[in-house]
Structure 1
Amino acid sequence: MTLRGVRLSAPLLFGLLLATPVLGQPAGQGTQALTYQQPPAPIADILDSRPTPTPSVAPDRKTLALFERSNLPSIAEMAEPQLRLAGFRINPRNNGPANSRLSWLTGIELKTIDGGTTRRVSLPTGSRFTSPSWSPDSRSIALLVDQPTGMALWVVDVATGSAREVFGPRVNAATGGGFGWLPDSSGIVVQAVPEGRGPAPDVTVPPAGPILAETGGRAAPVRTYQDLLGNPGDEALFAHYFTAQTTIVPLNGPARVVGTPGVILGSSVSPDGRFMLRTVAKRPFSYVVPASLFPADVVVTDLNGSVVHTVADLPLRDNIPPPFDAVAPGPRAAQWRADAPATLVWVEAQDGGDPRTAAEIRDRVLMLDAPFTGAPVTLIDLKERFAGITWGREDVALVNTRWFNTRHETRSVVDPLNPGTGRVIVDRNYQDRYNDPGSPVLMPNAAGRPVIQFTADGSKMFVDGDGATREGEYPFLGTLDLSTGQTQRLWQSASGDYETVLGVLDDEGRRLLTRRESRIDPPNLQIRTVGGDVTPLTTFPDPAPQLAGVTKELITYTRDDGVQLSGTLYLPAGYDRTRDGPLPLLMWAYPAEFTDAAVAGQIVDTANRFTRPGGSSHLFLLTQGYAVLDDPSMPIVGQDGQEPNDTYIAQLSASAKAAVDAVVAMGVADRDRIAVGGHSYGAFMTANLLAHTDLFRTGIARSGAYNRTLTPFGFQAEQRTYWQAPETYNAMSPFAFADRVNEPILLIHGEADDNSGTFPVQSERFYAALKGHGATVRYVVLPLEAHGYRARESVGHTLWEMTRWLDQNLKAPASTTAAGGH
């Protein structure tokens, strides 16, 4: 059978040929297939170095698990068949996420936080696993082990380090983890492949007829989505692979099925272990939106599978208005209250879900206690859109709201015992880093649910944050008084360090589990007694000592309109600007939209952070003699109700000019040897800067979008549709100005890009437009890669392409390149 989205189609093969000009010939004068190339030393060695283990702390904070990670997967692993169905990518062999979506783990080491033994978990040689999950009682870790015919559920005994299989390779992890612990840690709820499911349907048979779509006059504006169902064969495959049978698997005893199979998109057990909240998709499936917007039943069942309450009968949600604050009408965000036995909580829009409708109340948060026969109670009415709730105890919860148009947020303390009102304790612009009071410190309760951690007397909650200032980020631990809303800092990272709190180990906030790094020290975990001793827990080495001599500094400068800008300047090891003079420089950026120029101009030094590149990072170019200006500010500011993007080109160009002027004035860069680059929206930025300025010698644009008419119902932070703002859409589309790009540009795109808005056709058509106007352009298509590149061969080749391109266009004399004025 041929799996949709797996085969190399004729158009793709053609694209690959276009992507690979013969070495030594100008682009467009000859093409041939090109094998994967290795980046120059020492980049390849760094890519192949052993990854640092990922730490995870047990709920009781007595044990630390270190999960060893596999390195970059091979292209052969990426080539394993995958299906792209309803917004998901799955591996039909094991009914789990596709290899392009997974980072496999390969081993586990357990360490006692208060000293004692270190134990290595005994897993079969060559095992790889995913989704490790602590039991609420901290005695076990569950994980999914990949086997030839499926995903098997294994459980690790933390005390002994032994591991055993508790459920065979029938876990259905198509939508994610595929399992969850019972609150009492006695067993695990598994979404299983139904017994006797049989082979997948044959979708190679001739179609029975055409595929139809009609509206009946109903408005349904839909943003661009990837990997949607496209035909009856896709529907059949979706139903086959996503249908699961809920099964309870005790740690000791036989498994038992719960209810009937269904396309289960979400499932969670109530904190008291008596009920299950489930979201089950139902037909008709849609070809225009992902599974999360399919018709669905949101129901509460008992642990025998009998429905005891219907939360919502959701219709197809393909008509949500384009603005970012828009939501579907009806119940949404259904969840269990984390600090109560069995209380349902959900949200309902009071403005029909449309932020363009005038309304005093936007959202209402509702609660309903078991046995779910009474009327729901209003916990709080919200003047902005619901953005989450953090549970604490019976009389304290924290409700967040946000409103995108103003970038405004509130955080309100509510009392579930006396519902109906709340007290706002945070009222701010959520992009304002300098005045972020921090977020609640969370800890698991007895049922394993995260809840707010309070001080010993219960009058305050612990909070932590980044502590961003002009001088740098210095994370802190503090308290917030529930009566007054006042905050007090108990501890803050020392100057020169970046140390974050992973857990508060006592009721006074004196004993902390932290993760510390500095400019020269790699991140490691430790136990810190505030004002006392520090006990190291890990000694992870520098993963890329070849970069230890690289220097970085925050540089600041001002745009012509007075907006403050900044960027991090990286210089190669051993460089001396007085002795060595200006270097070829790559500016790598990503624009951001703001409603407040002061917030847009906030500057935060990162000199205390440990920096080592990974994946296809542009920072690897430091090893090849290039300077890098990383993340130079590219703010697009809309003030006094104006939309930021209406002046996008002017603001973008002004920011880029200010950055170029700054590095040239410092003497580290030659104005004639500066390149610009970016990924995704940064690629879009790159193409626009080449089209509208003469600031750069060349550009590198990876996985971008270049024609905004192909994303007509909004993109990035643009809420208006094409028909509401055609001038803005056209002015922002570098495709429309392909005739003005007269600097060489390197386009790279993953063949299987899964990001909304950056379909590969964006690069394909932009390449054709540039080629048609005689531009110097190289177009590289990476087979099997999504929006981010994962295969070792793909990552290495990308870095080879980038290095080679800059060597040709920045290190060569200007007269040999195609740079020129407009």
Structure 2
Amino acid sequence: MSRRIPLPSAALAFLAAAPLSAQQAPAANGWDPQQVLRTETFVKPPANIERMIMAPRVDISFTNPSPDARWFLRTSGADRGDIKAYGAPHIWLGGLQIDTRANRARSVTTSTRTGIVLVDPRTGAERKIAAPAGTTISSPVWSPRGTHVAYLVNFPTASYVHVLDVANGRSTRLSERPLLATLVTDVDFTADGRHVVAVLVPANRSAAPVLGGDGVADGPDVRLTESRAVPQPVHFSLLANPHEKRLLQYHTTGQVVLIDVRTRALKTVGAPAMVRNVDASHDGQFLRVTRMTEPFSYLVPVSSFGGVQELWDASGKVVATLARTPLRESGRDGGDAAPAVAAASDTGKRNMQWNPIGPGLLYVQNVPAPAAPATPPANGRSGAEGGPSARAGAAPVQVRAPRGQVVVWKAPYGPNDTTVLYRGGPQLGTVLFSLDSSTMFVSDSGAVIAVRVNNPTERWNLGRNVSLPVTITAFGGAGFGGGRSSSDSTAGTLVSRKVGNATYVVLGTDGKQVALTGTRAPGANWYKQAPRPWLDRMDITTKVRTRLMDSPADVYEEFMAPLDRDLQQFIVTRENRTTITDAWLRTASSTEAKQLTKNVDVGPEVSGAQFRRFQVTRPRDGTKYWVEVTLPRDWKPGNRLPGIIWFYPREYSTLTAYEQSRQSANINAFPAVPSARPASSMQLWVSQGYAFIQPDIPIYGEAGRMNDNYTRDLEENLDAVLDAAVDSGFVDRDKMGIGGHSYGAFSTVNAMTLMPNFKAGIAGDGMYNRTLTPFGFQSERRNFFQAKETYMDMSPFLRADKLAGALLLYHAWEDQNTGTAPMSSTRLFAALQGLGKPAALYMYPYEDHSVATYASDLDLWARWVAWMDVHVKNGGKVEAVRAVQP
């Protein structure tokens, strides 16, 4: 149910700076900022910004290989969304966005992918498969043998599962019945590749529930606290009444099926249910199914609703209940994922998966260790003096810590159908196998242990801090198969590959060689030395290593994917500050390399800009922090520019914590305009003649109370940044703007109500009244009633009358970020309107916390540039006029 808060009557009005006649006349150069700001349809920015946003990007990814790594799969399509797709009818039910017309999650409807491209990196050969006209595709997945690719084809009113035959390039629809893709938005193969498991719209489905039975509400929305303390953050969407509960049940109830890839025969499994996840065994004879369960809640979103994970046989009969997750209504955080490593006292089954090397399920479990042999006490007594356990001649019982074990559980899945593969310590976590099934790799108490499957006594400790690749251990997650580094260390992460439903460690053909990838971090020297990724081959029996790739000091070269088990060939990306990122084919222990992609720099105004990084010192206490300044490429010393500070404060309890947070920077990164979120490339400001300033704004204080110093540190830090930028000759002090998004927007308005330094500001998707987030925000965990003065002091809404400068507010109508409700912007604008402050408000339809469509992205940049041109570049040179009603 998409609910909109009514805009104030003058929501699109603003107090600008030019006579009305000038606003209506087009500017001589075709760019009229006054008219841009008043236009009530989507507008476009200056031509060079439009070009940089709209230019198609070159896809250089090699992250989705076939199981034999012959082909790499990419999807093709627009980099940004179409406003028409985002505007398709949809409802909100407890945080779940549903396209009711097409029986799917809205995220499927808004897919921009329109084709599949298969690339052979060795030969450069490509195979392109286009989606049917007027459709998009989503969630492509390889079959375990790499002979097929299954994916969703999304028509305007339905999604269907298709399978691509890699050999001949033909694509076939597997079922004429549409998918129910509200909770399960993908499909997968069984491990033998013969079947696709999917969730379809139930046959003979009834009509959707109607409000009140006849379209008229039959009562009020009812809430009772029942005197329970349930502190919650502010959620964008919660269920409102029994009708929405019925709608949720209706739109999430689907039919699990197995579809034969060759014959397209469809086998129904069990009765329709609210299926969250489904995962079939190798032969399709059993399925792991997670169902969403009632009761539903009015206090938390759907992601916190309860569920049960069950083992079904092929008829849908429940063979075993594997886990239960209760409704989670307490606390600010909490997701569905279970921790990879459980507490030693937890004896439940965890990290469950289908056994990738044979039949049955595989799980990790802690079990109590057998008691140590009793030792008679020297004095012949035990227990406390005179206590209940005292007994003549009794020996004290020595309790050992629980032990972790890896267990295989086979059909018929009774209590005695288990075999222990490995016994380790209580901190046993992730389990992966080699591609040839000969070796098991387990994370155990800070190390990775390699174990021969056929002889578990043959095992090797690969060293502390060696890690297994990142995997999502909660049911329904997928392992990371590309082999990219997930650790910033010299120990390294084992290289892996995703095959079908499982992730495997890449083990050499000799059964002894593994590959590890990692990064040498420069630490405190991050500002003059780049991180240096590396790739090693290691003998698991001796731990002797051979370096296969080492990133040079002046180039950032990162390992992407292996092409063979022995890593004779592999793919890397290369870039530095002046060379755009491209993919290369490397040969081990050789300088030989073949360029695989030809990337294009779409924003030379950004990549060629002048860059400065320096430290500033806060006068009060001598605290130092970093500032980055980007200047137009033709800037010359002595030319003071209009400037824009764009920032996002962060809280730290110590100076050391702040300094460590800076050490992830990569000074060899190419300054590209990104494709996924062009609006996040705020360096585009330099293309309009501005100095763009990005300062760190650290907020310091004792742990849990950093925000007590928020307004003081914010003001002092910005003062020091502004002084340094002016003293360096970069900017004109009288032509300064400021801006930020989300918490940066909140901080922007705080700055403009605390300081008189800024002619204009931009604040988007922020929260400006902390009394509307009474149970915490950002890193603040105290509630309003425990830290009332801090909450009030941090609420710029309460200082709206002190606002200095012209403020542009923007907000998405469907901002589902926790704690940044659109009401925050509409209420602040109403206050500024009442006070006669120069302000504008732009509310974007169909968008979330960060805009995703070309239309909104271009519109934002148009209005941002127009606002700063009027109030910063030309500030004070023209007269202010009355607000014009739309």
Separation of aligned partners in 2, 1:710 and 1:347: 43
> Taking structure 1 as reference, are residues 569 and 489 closer, same or farther at Cα in structure 2, changes over 3 Å only?
farther
CA offset digits 1:548-607 (Å, max 9, x no partner): 5333343344445455433432222322234xx121122222223344422422353534
Partner of 2:397: none
Who wins on radius of gyration, i.e. which is larger? 2
- 1:67 corresponds, among 75, 90, 98, to 75
Partner of 1:464: 517
The answer (yes or no) to whether the contact 1:100–1:786 under 8 Å persists in 2 is no
Amino acid at match of 1:683: A
Partner of 2:798: 736
- 2:692 corresponds, among 628, 633, 645, to 628
Separation of aligned partners in 2, 1:165 and 1:674: 58
Partner of 1:88: 96
- 1:565 corresponds, among 612, 625, 629, to 625
Correspondence list, 1:591-670, <5 A: 591-601=649-659, 602-603=662-663, 604-614=665-675, 615-617=678-680, 618-630=682-694, 632-638=695-701, 641=703, 643-670=705-732
- SS of 1:175's equivalent? coil
Partner of 1:502: 560
The answer (yes or no) to whether the contact 1:338–1:451 under 8 Å persists in 2 is no
- SS of 1:260's equivalent? strand
Amino acid at match of 1:550: A
The answer (yes or no) to whether the contact 2:80–2:112 under 8 Å persists in 1 is no
Mean Cα displacement is larger for which, 231-240 or 49-58?
49-58
Correspondence list, 1:126-525, <5 A: 126-168=134-176, 170-203=178-211, 205-253=215-263, 254-270=265-281, 274-320=285-331, 335-336=352-353, 339=356, 341=358, 342-345=360-363, 369-371=409-411, 372-374=413-415, 389=430, 391-392=432-433, 395-398=440-443, 425-426=464-465, 436-437=489-490, 440-444=493-497, 447-454=500-507, 462-469=515-522, 470=526, 471-478=529-536, 490-525=548-583
- In the TM superposition, residue 246 of structure 1 has moved relative to its aligned partner by 0.6
Q: In the alignment, is residue 34 of structure 1 matched against residue 40 of structure 2? A: yes
The answer (yes or no) to whether the contact 1:497–1:517 under 8 Å persists in 2 is yes
> Taking structure 1 as reference, are residues 687 and 464 closer, same or farther at Cα in structure 2, changes over 3 Å only?
farther
Separation of aligned partners in 2, 1:326 and 1:135: 26
Larger relative contact order (C-alpha < 8 A, sep ≥ 6)?
A: 2
> Taking structure 1 as reference, are residues 96 and 426 closer, same or farther at Cα in structure 2, changes over 3 Å only?
same
Q: How many residues align?
A: 781
Partner of 2:635: 575
> Taking structure 1 as reference, are residues 732 and 411 closer, same or farther at Cα in structure 2, changes over 3 Å only?
farther
- SS of 2:145's equivalent? coil
> Taking structure 1 as reference, are residues 390 and 455 closer, same or farther at Cα in structure 2, changes over 3 Å only?
same
- 1:77 corresponds, among 85, 90, 102, to 85
CA offset digits 1:282-320 (Å, max 9, x no partner): 222212212222232221222332211112333321124
Partner of 2:846: 784
Q: In the alignment, is residue 800 of structure 1 matched against residue 862 of structure 2? A: yes
- SS of 2:236's equivalent? coil
Correspondence list, 1:517-556, <5 A: 517-530=575-588, 531-545=590-604, 547-556=606-615
TM-score, normalization: structure 1?
0.84
Partner of 1:403: none
Partner of 1:115: 123
- SS of 2:725's equivalent? helix
> Taking structure 1 as reference, are residues 507 and 327 closer, same or farther at Cα in structure 2, changes over 3 Å only?
closer
Amino acid at match of 2:751: L
> Taking structure 1 as reference, are residues 99 and 365 closer, same or farther at Cα in structure 2, changes over 3 Å only?
same
Q: In the alignment, is residue 684 of structure 1 matched against residue 761 of structure 2? A: no
Separation of aligned partners in 2, 1:46 and 1:423: 47
Mean Cα displacement is larger for which, 134-143 or 714-723?
714-723
Amino acid at match of 1:37: V
> Taking structure 1 as reference, are residues 424 and 477 closer, same or farther at Cα in structure 2, changes over 3 Å only?
closer
Separation of aligned partners in 1, 2:757 and 2:876: 14
- SS of 1:258's equivalent? strand
CA offset digits 1:193-235 (Å, max 9, x no partner): 1112244223371122222222433332222222221122222
> Taking structure 1 as reference, are residues 54 and 222 closer, same or farther at Cα in structure 2, changes over 3 Å only?
farther
The answer (yes or no) to whether the contact 1:229–1:287 under 8 Å persists in 2 is yes
- In the TM superposition, residue 33 of structure 1 has moved relative to its aligned partner by 7.0
Separation of aligned partners in 1, 2:584 and 2:791: 51
Separation of aligned partners in 2, 1:596 and 1:325: 32
- In the TM superposition, residue 39 of structure 1 has moved relative to its aligned partner by 0.7
- SS of 2:319's equivalent? strand
Correspondence list, 1:704-715, <5 A: 704-715=766-777
Separation of aligned partners in 2, 1:748 and 1:320: 30
Separation of aligned partners in 2, 1:478 and 1:629: 40
- SS of 1:762's equivalent? helix
Amino acid at match of 2:628: T
- 1:47 corresponds, among 46, 49, 53, to 53
Amino acid at match of 2:631: L
Separation of aligned partners in 1, 2:717 and 2:350: 40
Q: In the alignment, is residue 769 of structure 1 matched against residue 831 of structure 2? A: yes
- SS of 2:270's equivalent? coil
Separation of aligned partners in 2, 1:548 and 1:114: 31
- SS of 1:67's equivalent? strand
Partner of 2:645: 587
- In the TM superposition, residue 445 of structure 1 has moved relative to its aligned partner by 5.7
Amino acid at match of 2:327: L
Partner of 1:5: 2
Gaps of 5+ in 2: 21-33, 369-399, 471-485, 881-886
Separation of aligned partners in 2, 1:535 and 1:146: 37
Amino acid at match of 1:537: L
Separation of aligned partners in 2, 1:20 and 1:97: 35
CA offset digits 1:150-206 (Å, max 9, x no partner): 001111222222222122351111125231221122221111111122442233711
Partner of 2:11: 18
> Taking structure 1 as reference, are residues 25 and 261 closer, same or farther at Cα in structure 2, changes over 3 Å only?
farther
TM-score, normalization: structure 2?
0.79
